[in-house]
Amino acid sequence: MRTIKGPGIFLAQFAGDDAPYNTLEGMAKWAAGHGYAGFQIPTWDRRLFDLECAAESQAYCDEVKGIAAQAGLAITELSTHLQGQLVASHPAYDVLLEGFAPAEFKGNTKARTAWAVEQLWWAAKASRNLGLKAHATFSGALAWPFFYPWPQRPPGLVGEAFKELGRRWLPILNAFDDAGVDVCFELHPGEDLHDGATFERFLASVSDHPRANILYDPSHMVLQQMDYLAFLDLYHDRVRAFHVKDAEFRPSGRSGVYGGYQEWIDRPGRFRSIGDGQIDFRQVFSKMAQYDYPGWAVVEWECAIKHPEQGAAEGAKFVRDQIIRVTDRAFDDFAGSETNAVSNQRILGI
């Protein structure tokens, strides 16, 4: 077993045009001031990070690492959630996703997809240059508009979608393999990879690729009414990144897991600031320690009620209090005795 690294914080929800949120140096000092030990960088936000430069320049990556180190922090992972979404997206979402890519790709889905794939290739190289071992992203979605089987799906539709998803991601996974970095898909509604069953379908489509792994975020499982603790029992060997985000599900007579098209504040399932929801993080962290999770515990703040600054301030202490310093001895070692093959045979009476 090993002790989880943390607390880290994902910068995406806090970045902005005003200081200290508009530069990586400013955000590093801000995160350190809240008690964080690391941060996850959103690579699409050029106020904070230049992905192309990081892929091509070791000097730039050394500068980025220096900014983190000067604040007493480490870089936990890079994130390409927005670019990953564009690797595979159904045409129904073309207009909604226009803001995820540069304006010159508006109305040109093929060019936008090619741009997204290039971004992932750069992310593999940048992660290697930064000395990182895991990368956070989304899978994108070709089949998501058909997640509920009415009208009845034609035979083979979902299989074809996952075959194509695998075809698009396999070269990217190979690039990350060359870089020595795990691709960690955040299992998330709106993505073709949103639970264990869909992750298994994807693994089959990429021949169980060793770099196809999971960003574990139990909040998305609460909103789907999954057993987020049993999930770790099943898939712990593929969990290589971890978002610490809380959620609650309050069923009513008006709406359920689909949310009734309501705003977040009114939905039965909604994200909450850490400690304000229903997730049993003591058990989550216990299982992560039990299964030898090798990475960081990274706070992702999302809440329909609490201010982000309060959530960030509370999150560092909350995670620090959950991290288990794993034991290096058995609790009953005091009563043990040295044995050998002969004495073991005597004990067994053989």
Mean pLDDT of the chain: 97
Per residue in 293-322, pLDDT tens? Answer: 999 999 999 999 999 999 999 999 999 999
Q: What is the predicted pLDDT for the residue at 31?
A: 98
How large is the average pLDDT for residues 104-132?
A: 97
Residue percentage of the chain with pLDDT more than 70:
100
CB 120 within 8 A of CB 84: yes
Distance from chain centroid for Cα 157:
28
Residue 78: which pLDDT band, with cuts at 50, 70 and 90? very high
Helix, strand and coil in the chain, % to nearest 5 = 45, 15, 40
Q: What is the predicted pLDDT for the residue at 165?
A: 98
Residue 274: which pLDDT band, with cuts at 50, 70 and 90? very high
CA dihedral over 35, 36, 42, 48, signed as positive or negative: positive
Whole-structure pTM value: 0.96
Q: Which 3 state secondary structure label does DSSP give 130?
A: helix
How large is the average pLDDT for residues 265-279?
A: 97
Per residue in 328-337, pLDDT tens? Answer: 888 777 778 7
Residue percentage of the chain with pLDDT more than 90:
93
Residue 327: Cβ within 10 Å count: 9
Domains and their CATH numbers in the chain: 5-348 (3.20.20.150)
Q: What is the predicted pLDDT for the residue at 337?
A: 77
CA dist 298 and 326 (Å) reads 19
Q: How many CA atoms lie within 13 A of 119 on its CB side?
A: 30
Render 203-237 in DSSP notation, one character per residue. Answer: HHHTTT-TTEEEEE-HHHHHHTT--HHHHHHHHGG
Measure the N-to-C terminal CA separation of the chain; round to a whole number of Å.
35
Per residue in 165-217, pLDDT tens? Answer: 999 999 999 999 999 999 999 999 999 999 999 999 999 999 999 999 999 99
Rounded (10°) angle between helices 308-322 and 281-290:
50
CA dist 207 and 86 (Å) reads 22
Least Cα distance to 230 among 276, 283, 269 occurs for 283
**Can you read off the two tokens belonging to residue 161?**
């979608």
How large is the average pLDDT for residues 76-88?
A: 98
**Residue 185 bridge partners (DSSP):** 137, 214
Is it the case that residue 156 has pLDDT exceeding 80?
yes
Q: What is the predicted pLDDT for the residue at 84?
A: 98
CB 72 within 8 A of CB 125: no
Q: What is the predicted pLDDT for the residue at 51?
A: 98
Which of the pair, 219 or 342, is modelled with greater confidence? 219
Residue 271: Cβ within 10 Å count: 23
Q: What is the predicted pLDDT for the residue at 185?
A: 99
Q: What is the predicted pLDDT for the residue at 7?
A: 98
Render 329-340 in DSSP notation, one character per residue. Answer: S-TTGGG-----
